Amino acid sequence: MSSHSCVSRVRRAYGLKRVGHGGTLDPAVTGVLPLALGPATRLLPYLSGDKAYRGVVQLGLRTDSDDLEGEVLERRSVPPLDLPQLEQALAAFRGTIQQRPPAVSAVHVNGQRAYKLARAGERVELAPRPVTIQTLELLAWRPELGELELRVVCSAGTYIRSLARDLGEALGCGGSLARLRRTAALGFQLEQSVSLEQLELAAEALPPLLDPLLVLSHLARHQLGPDDLNGWRCGRLQTTQEGWPVETPVLVVDPDGNLAGMARVQAIGQLQPRLVLDAAG
């Protein structure tokens, strides 16, 4: 199932047209897919971008999509590998690295998605770009199967398929992603998730939605005074006594503590409205 299909099912369940997802999941990947409903779709860009995964890399196999869904390009024998050798190889991928996205990916190339060009038979060679891998932990090594099980915590834009491909090359035998589960995304954990089966069984009592004020509690916060509300609704600059750095995103609440929108620090002590939920006019 694609991320878009998940969005469609949530739209039907809640009777809403505006539903958006934060971070596409490949159809073969399971796990956390954050969804925003109604006006909250406009808040997705303000969520924390780090993601966590648990996956299995199949060594000795290269495909055109860097996972087992693609066409096999090459098979190689897997050399004898011990844990110190594996740890040495993994160490090179920790921290900020240059990573080339898979040819079959959603990256734009001259205005088109790379996967569309690749599936049309065009040769796609994407430029490497910086990504950060904070955690890369070896959970299991199954030499009889040539399988590595990994835990990864990484920045947005990191491709675990690319990691599998590059790790296989570093070990001299090639590699492809066999299985992957996203365990955290945009501040949400797998344990908080609602399965699609639960959603369909809960027609009479749909799962409750999370309050955006709780979801965005990691951000700086500014409360409007009674005399500020009309100006905020008209998009006027707001003043603050806080010394937040320029460009800091700030959560803005009305005098009653309800979410009013988002601002950014334009200059020290000045807030520029960026998202006004109840704009005047």
Shortest CA distance to 221 belongs to which of 198, 244, 191, 200?
244
Is 66 tagged catalytic? no
What does the pLDDT read at residue 107?
A: 59
Residues 6 or more apart whose Cβ sits within 8 Å of residue 92? 170
Q: Does domain 219-276 sit in CATH 1.10.3080.10? A: no
CA–CA separation, 79 and 99 (whole Å): 24
Give the bridge partners for 135, in sequence order: 153
Does pLDDT of 25 surpass 90? no
237-259 residue pLDDT tens: 999 999 999 999 999 999 999 99
Does pLDDT of 115 surpass 80? no
User: Looking at residue 80, what DSSP letter applies?
Assistant: P
Q: Which helix (H) or strand (E) holds 214?
A: helix 212-215
Does pLDDT of 105 surpass 70? no
What does the pLDDT read at residue 122?
A: 63
With beta carbons less than 8 A apart as the criterion, state whether 64 and 71 touch: yes
With beta carbons less than 8 A apart as the criterion, state whether 19 and 192 touch: no
Question: Which superfamily does 51-185 belong to?
Answer: Pseudouridine synthase (3.30.2350.10)
With beta carbons less than 8 A apart as the criterion, state whether 246 and 230 touch: no
What does the pLDDT read at residue 205?
A: 82
Separation in Å, CA 230 to CA 98, 241, 255, 260, 269: 47, 20, 11, 11, 19
Q: What percent of the chain has pLDDT over 90?
A: 75
Q: Which of 26, 67, 166, 254 is catalytic?
A: 26
137-184 residue pLDDT tens: 999 999 999 999 999 999 988 999 999 999 999 999 999 999 999 999
**Could you give the maximum distance between any two Cα atoms of the chain, in Å?**
72
The average confidence (pLDDT) of the chain is 90
With beta carbons less than 8 A apart as the criterion, state whether 190 and 184 touch: yes
255-274 residue pLDDT tens: 999 999 999 999 999 999 99
Task: Report domain extents, the chain.
Answer: 3-45+191-201, 51-185, 219-276
57-75 residue pLDDT tens: 999 999 989 999 999 999 9
Q: What is this structure's pTM?
A: 0.86
Per the rule left: phi > 0, alpha: psi between -120 and 50, beta: everything else, 161 is: alpha
Cα angle 150-151-154, degrees, rounded to a multiple of 5: 120
